[in-house]
Amino acid sequence: MRLISLVNAALVIVVLFFLVFERDSLFSFAGRAEAEASPEVASESGEVVDVDQATIGVVALRSTAREIDSAVLLRGQTKANRQVEVLAETTSTVISEPKRKGTFVEAGDLLCELDPGTRPASLAEAKAAKLEAQSRIPEAEARLEEAHARVAEAEINLTAANKLSDSGFGSETRRISSEAAMRTAEAGIKTAEAGLEATRAGIEAATAEVKAAEREIDRQTITAPFKGLLESDTAELGSLMQPGALCATVIQLDPIKLVGFVPETEVNRIIVGTEATAQLVTGLQVSGRVTFLSRSADETTRTFEVEITVPNPELAIRDGQTADIRISAAGAKAHFLPQSALTLSNNGQLGVRTIGQSNVVDFQPVVLLRDTAEGVWVGGLPETVDIIVIGQEFVTRGVTVEPTYREASK
């Protein structure tokens, strides 16, 4: 056993000696051309490579560009279409049984009912004051008519006094007295008119007090502002409500919104009204339309908010779920390749290695349009191109290869 081990070790040493120190002689013995006799070309890294070395076998894909929907891809979340905290507007005690969160409510459904207290009495008092003010209207109108009659009488007396005075049958004192009576009667009209306006103002003030009392009574019943779900319990029976105290939180989930943020390089590709789809983290696929695109960028991220409205009749979509959003945009020509076909140049540029004339390798940069589980869609390549999909990491630009072609994926 020791002799065999020693023999194996000796053979390994001999093989390593020839591979390391006598490599050229070994390759010549094996029938390969010497390096000095082969033409040289520059690789993509700038190094000189020998193209007459034994050709390398690679697997290539003959790809033809296809029209695809160059969608805008976003990461976003679901958001309730409407959400409001229903607050109390007055001070009183809750006298209604609470509704539990998750309860479905229609617009106008009672959420919290408050104790009316003395508010009905205040309303009755305001209505009585209004009736009293209205009853003063006939008296004020009668005073105005009386004032007008006195003016007419004073005008007749003044005319007669002027005629008698002019003919010498009346004294000057009587004429002056008639003029004073005339001015007094005219002042009486203004007083009566002011009294009538004051009475009408009193009616308006009483009417306003009635409306205020009625509004105060209306505040005793707090109702749902729209159709939706209770996100919180309504106020507990017997609790004291102050202005601004929370009665309940109501959210509307049908329809629901998908909210994402678009980078400024992509914002011009989105049009309001465009179709959009999304996949939630639960796997649910949904579709809707873009209903809002912000005109102002976020100061920190330099992105623009976009909203997509999605029907949610069964309320299967909840508020705050993460979603991968895909917004339709103008189509583009692209090649569908396996992800492993992508490589980097020595400058760090993303691209693929292609096969040109005489099976010589070339490097072409690409633009990544879409990434899927099955492969990637890339642009920036000719209409038809042969792409190395296996072995591209072992060859460089200018190397001659022996390709084996495989069928393109559908």
Instruction: Give 311-351 pLDDT, tens digit per residue.
Output: 999 888 999 999 999 988 776 788 899 988 999 888 889 99
Residue 193's pLDDT band, with cuts at 50, 70 and 90, is confident
At residue 158, the pLDDT reads 73
Q: Are strands 66-69 and 240-241 parallel, antiparallel or unpaired?
A: unpaired
pLDDT at 385 over 80: yes
Which three-class secondary structure state does DSSP give residue 308? Answer: strand
**What value does the mean pLDDT take over residues 27-56?**
48
DSSP 47-110: -EEETTSPPEEEEEEEEE-EEEE-PEEEEEEEEEEEEEEEE--S-EEB-SPPPPTT-EE-TT-E
Query: Which segments of 311-360 are extended strands (E)?
Result: 322-327, 331-337, 343-344, 350-355
- Furthest C-alpha separation in the chain: 175
284-291 LR contacts (CB < 8 Å, sep 24+): 284/316, 284/317, 286/258, 286/310, 286/317, 286/323, 288/255, 288/258, 290/327, 291/257
Task: Kindly state the average pLDDT of the residues 227-251.
Answer: 92
pLDDT band of 396, cuts 50, 70, 90:
confident
Q: Which of 26-30, 102-106, 377-381 has the lowest mean pLDDT?
A: 26-30
Q: What pLDDT sits at residue 33? A: 40
CB 126 within 8 A of CB 239: no
The dihedral through the CA atoms of 329, 332, 334, 336 has a sign that is positive
Name the more confident of 168 and 378.
378
What local confidence, expressed as pLDDT, does residue 309 receive? 95
Q: 12 pLDDT band (50/70/90 cuts)?
A: low
pLDDT at 35: 38
pLDDT at 86: 94
List residues bridging with 344 in a β-sheet: 350
pLDDT at res. 329? 78
Locate tokens 């009488």: which residue?
Answer: 153
- Using alpha carbons, list the distances in angstroms from residue 70 to 155, 260, 288, 292, 392: 94, 18, 18, 20, 27
- What are the pLDDT digits (tens) for 323-334? 999 988 776 788
Q: How far is it, in rounded angstroms, from Cα 378 to Cα 68? A: 10
CA 252 from chain centre, in angstroms, equals 15
What local confidence, expressed as pLDDT, does residue 23 receive? 52
Between CA 22 and CA 28 the distance in angstroms is 10
CA-nearest of 77, 108, 137 to 282 is 77
pLDDT > 60? residue 30:
no
Specify the DSSP class assigned to residue 383.
S
Q: Is it the case that residue 14 has pLDDT exceeding 70?
A: no
The pLDDT assigned to 7 comes to 64
Which residues make Cβ contacts (< 8 Å) with residue 360, sequence separation at least 6?
A: 51, 398, 399, 400, 401
pTM above 0.75, yes or no: no
According to DSSP, the residues that pair with 260 across neighbouring strands are 306
Task: Write the CA distances from 265 to 72, 218, 316, integer angstroms.
Answer: 11, 52, 33
Residue 46 has pLDDT above 60, yes or no: no
* Residue 96 near residue 112, CB atoms below 8 Å: yes
Query: pLDDT per residue over 346-368, tens digit each?
Result: 888 999 999 988 889 999 999 88
Calculate mean pLDDT across residues 67-83: 86
First to last CA, the chain: 59
